[in-house]
């Protein structure tokens, strides 16, 4: 069997490489660049001081004085990803520096034009996405050391929120890292379906359920690293977009790019490709409204990740194979995946309740305190613009409905 096993594993590296996925890091950018060439120091110098400049209300003035740089000197995907990360953080800081009552309607040309050009080159929208905030925004403090939960990791670029902001980014990063064996199991499962190899399929489903369980454990670290009051009153607004947001009903005008304002959703966990991939493999059928929102969030993913999800959706149906199979082990392994995914989503709802609903109630009682005024326009919505509790519960419930009864 050992030689056969080697043959079964062979499609993985090819499949991962084709979609710009890493064997070790999955959807995460492996070892992202932390500095751009010296000619881009006007961007980097401001980016490294963002929390301080926002707190002192000086960021907008600094950006107005910034030269308009030529993006044609950026070389390769890594430099483009770092440029997008930097420009997206500058944009969020610029728009939200004075809170939701002091938003800017126009993004100045010296920021808007290069941000648009870099976005076009990457196939990403000109706003902070999950790919920027998490996938491309990490480095090891000690490059020779291994991944220790949050202790050896730090974001490359930050926003206000201090240790809670770092914790929020890095715990989300650990969830993505925990998903890597699940991504490999997904490729393995599709290979097994194509070759009618139920033994391999069973192992793949066991691997997927285990990976989702590990993602769940990683997610629980949010409680240890992120203060709900800081998340709700300080961090959340900087992840907000200008679509479906009452604080910016007309969108944002990108000067030098378009004569009309444009509307984009803010950063959202729904932009992570991981759960989209697992939903497609498991044949989860979400409601029409939830599906429409999730599909719109795919426009905020790097194009190769979008293509990966699309390929999974076109593969032979795992669900139909299980339904037509007499193998009870397969059905049980499939149901373990469904249960693990529903549990993960339930725990995500519990975290959102703590960090938004409960934090909102406390912030209402303590509005005069120093943590800041909470963003009222987002009270019932996620940063991506969804009605957050309705959406999350709907997605969790439709996951549970994917169970196959005996």
For residue 122, what are the contacts with CB-CB under 8 A and spacing of at least 6? 77, 80, 81, 84, 302, 303
The single residue listed with the structure tokens 């759960």 is 275
CA-based R_g, the chain, Å: 22
Please state whether 162 falls in left (phi above 0), alpha (psi between -120 and 50) or beta: left
Segments of 203-266 assigned E as strands: 253-254
DSSP assignment letter at 136: T
Q: Are 216 and 357 in contact (CB under 8 A)?
A: no
For residue 265, what are the contacts with CB-CB under 8 A and spacing of at least 6? 127, 241, 243, 244, 296, 297, 300, 383, 384, 385
Angle at 320 between CA 318 and CA 322, to 5 degrees: 70
DSSP assignment letter at 73: G
CA 311 to chain centre: 20
Paired sense of beta strands 139-140 and 253-254, if any: unpaired
305 is in an annotated binding site: no
Per the structure block, which two tokens stand in for 403? 């169970």
Q: Are 105 and 252 in contact (CB under 8 A)?
A: yes
Angle at 223 between CA 221 and CA 225, to 5 degrees: 70
Choose among 288, 281, 290, 287: nearest CA to 320: 281
Residue 245 CA to residue 313 CA, distance in Å, equals 31
For residue 336, what are the contacts with CB-CB under 8 A and spacing of at least 6? 205, 206, 209
Binding-site residues from annotation: 348
Binding-site residues from annotation for heme b: 348
């Amino acid at each position: 069997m050992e030689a056969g096993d080697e043959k079964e594993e062979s499609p993985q590296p090819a499949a991962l490489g084709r979609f710009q996925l890493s064997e070790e890091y999955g959807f995460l950018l492996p070892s992202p660049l932390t500095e751009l060439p010296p000619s881009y120091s006007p961007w980097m110098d401001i980016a490294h001081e963002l929390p301080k400049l926002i707190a002192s209300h000086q960021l907008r003035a600094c950006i107005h004085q910034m030269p308009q740089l030529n993006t044609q000197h950026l070389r390769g995907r890594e430099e483009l990803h770092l440029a997008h990360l930097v420009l997206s953080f500058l944009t969020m800081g610029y728009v939200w520096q004075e809170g939701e009552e002091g938003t800017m309607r126009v993004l100045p040309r010296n920021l808007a034009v290069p941000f648009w050009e870099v976005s076009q080159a990457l196939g990403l929208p000109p706003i902070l996405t999950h790919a920027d905030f998490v996938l491309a925004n990490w480095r090891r403090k000690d490059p020779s050391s291994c991944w220790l939960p949050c202790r050896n990791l730090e974001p490359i670029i930050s926003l206000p929120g201090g240790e809670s902001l770092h914790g929020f980014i890095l715990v989300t990063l650990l969830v993505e890292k925990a998903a890597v064996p699940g991504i490999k199991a997904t490729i393995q499962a599709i290979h097994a379906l194509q070759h009618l190899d139920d033994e391999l399929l069973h192992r793949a489903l066991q691997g997927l359920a285990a990976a989702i369980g590990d993602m769940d454990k990683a997610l629980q670290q949010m409680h240890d690293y992120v203060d709900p009051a800081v998340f709700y009153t300080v961090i959340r607004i900087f992840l907000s977009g200008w679509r479906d947001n009452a604080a910016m009903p007309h969108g944002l005008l990108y000067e030098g790019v378009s004569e009309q304002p444009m509307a984009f959703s803010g950063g959202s966990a729904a932009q992570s490709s991981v759960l989209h991939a697992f939903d497609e493999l498991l044949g989860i059928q979400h409601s029409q409204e939830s599906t429409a929102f999730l599909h719109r969030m795919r426009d905020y993913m790097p194009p190769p990740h979008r293509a990966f999800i699309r390929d999974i959706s076109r593969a032979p149906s795992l669900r139909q194979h299980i339904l037509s199979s007499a193998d009870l082990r397969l059905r049980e392994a499939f149901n373990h995946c469904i249960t693990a995914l529903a549990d993960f989503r339930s725990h995500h709802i519990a975290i959102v309740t703590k960090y938004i609903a409960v934090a909102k109630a406390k912030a209402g009682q303590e509005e005069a305190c120093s943590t800041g005024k909470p963003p009222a326009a987002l009270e019932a919505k996620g940063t991506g613009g969804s009605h957050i509790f309705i959406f999350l519960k709907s997605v969790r419930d439709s996951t549970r409905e994917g169970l196959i009864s005996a």
